[in-house]
Every structure is written in structure tokens, then in C-alpha cells.
Amino acid sequence: MTGMQQIRDLAEEWEVRSSATPFQGRVTGVRTDEVLMPDGGYARRDYQTHPGSVSVLALDERQRVLLVRQYRHPVRQRLWELPAGLLDVPGENPLHAAQRELYEEAHCKADQWRVLVDFYTSPGGTDEALRLFLATDLAEVEGERYEAHGEELQIQTARVPLEQLIAGILAGELHNPTLITGTLALHAALSGAGLAQLRPADSPWPARPFPAL
């Protein structure tokens, strides 16, 4: 449309006078940067460094979404979520990581994969980028289940109709941001041009570049 403003995020990097990592854990850390502000002064920005994540919205033939429920200690709640995991294997393709998580957490596989949405989980406090895939044509994996450990031992699974999830989100009963983002994005896609509008599973991801499959 003539005169319509193009709305898209823009890559930009402000000058950093100094940078330190006061804490580095096994996967994530904390970085402190002194950043040049528009008024000429410097401000300190503390944020979590993160390797990135993948998640899977697995949709079955009855328009039900595959969920897992896990205890999340920082918020002291057991949350319904989508299968998800860290990009903590060096060089691993995000699609392979997502397929692994779907198997490990739900003992499922899918024949069709698309990118549903890419987002930063909390850009004011962490550099974590997450790629959320839509997986369809689901089937249970043959053979033995993945041997769970630690908190994964208490994972529960369920298949919930999409409309029920939307109602739960709007009622304030579901709180996981990836579940909320994925559910509403899928609803928007189905209400619009359909799933054919979604990007291929190997689409570029500038936030976390990866080698081709």
C-alpha cells in the first residue's frame, strides 16, 4: 500500500566502552556492558547471556496441541508448556534440536515442519533467541522411550484443543510465554492465509545463524 510504513526490527549496536562477565554458569552467564547513551553519557546494562533455544508446537490431526507440564523453580509453579530445549550442542541445526526435544519430552515425531515464529524471550534482560517450529503429521516414535533424568522424571503430557488453550490464555490460567506466543501465532495463521504462509523449517535465522542442513 502506498505510503504505508514498513514495520520491522532493525539491527543496530551502540558503542560499548567496557564489558565484563561477572558470572558464567554451565550454560548461561551474566554480562555487564557500559553502553554509550544518546545524551553522551554511559549506562551499565546487566543481562543474561544465552545460547538460544528451540520449541515445538506439535499439532495433531484433531487440532490438538501437544503440551508438557514441568516444575519451574524461579516462579514456584508447575507450568503447561511446549516441548523445548537449549541450543547447547555446538553447531547443531535448530531443526535437529527441535526434533530431538519432541522425541525426548513426548516420544513423538513429525513429518512436516515449518517455522511458526522467531522471537527474543526477554530482550531487556537476556540475549536469548528462540525459534518456535510448527510440527504436523505426528506419530509416536517406535522403540524405547528416552531415559529421563532429574526434573524431567515428573514431566506430564497432554493434548489440548487449540480453542481451549486460547481460552485459558485469555483467562490468565496459562503463563508460559512460548506457549502463549505459539498458540496465538498459530491461531492467527489459521485465521488468515493458512499454514502455507509459514516459512520453511530451514529458513535463515539471523539471531542464531546456523549451517545449512
What is the chain's percent helix, strand, coil content, to nearest 5?
A: 25, 40, 40
With beta carbons less than 8 A apart as the criterion, state whether 86 and 129 touch: no
The tally of CA atoms less than 13 A away on the side-chain side of residue 5 is 3
Distance (Å, whole) CA 44 – CA 48 = 13
Question: Are β-strands 16-24 and 77-81 bridged in parallel, bridged antiparallel, or unpaired?
Answer: unpaired
CA 184-179-7 angle, to 5 degrees, is 45
81 is catalytic: no
Residue 123 in 3-state DSSP?
coil
Catalytic residue, chosen from 15, 151, 152, 163, is 152
Residue 210 to residue 11: CA distance in whole angstroms: 18
Report which DSSP code applies to 50. Answer: -
Q: Which residues contact 137 (CB under 8 A, 6 or more apart)?
A: 110, 111, 112
13 in helix, strand or coil? coil
Radius of gyration (C-alpha) of the chain in whole angstroms = 19
Catalytic amino acids? Answer: 152
